[in-house]
Chain A
Amino acid sequence: MDLREPLQSETVADVGYRPLVSIGTDGTAAEAVALMKLEKCGCVVVMSEGRMRGIFTERDLLKRVLHPGLGLDTPIVGLMSDDVTVARVDEPIHEVLARMYIGRLRHLPVLDGDEPVGTISIKRAIHFLADQLPQAILNLPPDPETFPATREGG
């Protein structure tokens, strides 16, 4: 099994993505944090009038809220990134991975036309690719740690 073919032929829709988790532009950091915790996701998309205005990630929480010591009542619009790198639902997964690699990004919002429909993570994409490989490769051995590292008695 080679991964060239799936990287080129499988789309974002094939790989799968997380359904949209979003807050409005009138939201606060507290609302974003509550939602990210509830959904156990690393980012929220910031929306208004049906359009994406930005994205707020775990990284932004660390670097723009907690580290500078801002309160969680800070409006999300001042904390989000508004220059958003996106994935399109019908594009091949390698394009998305390339963008994630170059941009050092872990999550991209997924757009269907102009409409945000979800987010895709590097983890999801890698998991998908790992699933393409024969299980013999990934499942051997079940747990190397449980075996002695040296010859017994040696």
Chain B
Amino acid sequence: MICPSCDHENIEGTDECENCMQPLTDLEHAAGSSPLERSLLESTLASLHPNAPIFVAPDTTVAAAVETMASRDIGCVIVGSLEDVVGIFSERDLLMRLADRYAEVSGQPVTEFMTPNPETLDVASPIAYALNRMSTGDFRHLPVTSAGQLVGIISLRDVLGFLSEWYPDLIPAP
């Protein structure tokens, strides 16, 4: 049984992870339930095929970030680089933080309006974690990392894609 916290492979039936002491009993219980639930726990974020992140540098202006989001047709940009994610700037930030004074602030750096240090999930995390984060946290994009490097972004739409694969008759793919 693979520990969801640290990926350590434990002997089946172990009560807690031998490596990080995280209890595994609930996981075992959950893993014994429906195929969908097993898939949520066993399929990783990699299987959602996270979209490649689009980066802007920290000194990018708000106007240039808006240009990138509009021309690439994306809802958010990552501020920083592959190794150094400084923040995330989304349509929601545009609306809540600057839309009503856009002319005034469009020349200012995007770092002043972004959400700094966004929560990330490792690409090897189960889909269940992303589902949990997205439905409890107030965000629709989740940066995905591998070995500390940003490898992609998953959105609520990707979760919908997962449901579509499970129930293609109910939610057909486009």
Contacts and interface: CB of A to CB of B under 8 A. Distances in A.
Contacts of B160: 97, 100-101, 122, 126
B5 A144 contact: yes
Given A37-B96, A147-B22, A3 B166 contact: yes
A8 B167 CA distance: 11
Chain A interface main SS type: helix
Given A8-B170, A30-B100, A148-B20, A58 B94 contact: yes
Given A72-B100, A130-B135, A136-B26, A123 B129 contact: no
Chain B interface main SS type: helix
Contacts of B91: 42, 58-59, 61-62
Contacts of B69: 62, 67
Given A101-B171, A129-B163, A137 B94 contact: no
Interface of B: 4-8, 19-20, 22, 26-27, 29-30, 33-37, 40-41, 66-67, 69-70, 75, 91-92, 94-96, 99-100, 102-103, 121-122, 125, 128-129, 131-132, 134-135, 140, 156-157, 159-161, 163-164, 166-167, 170-174
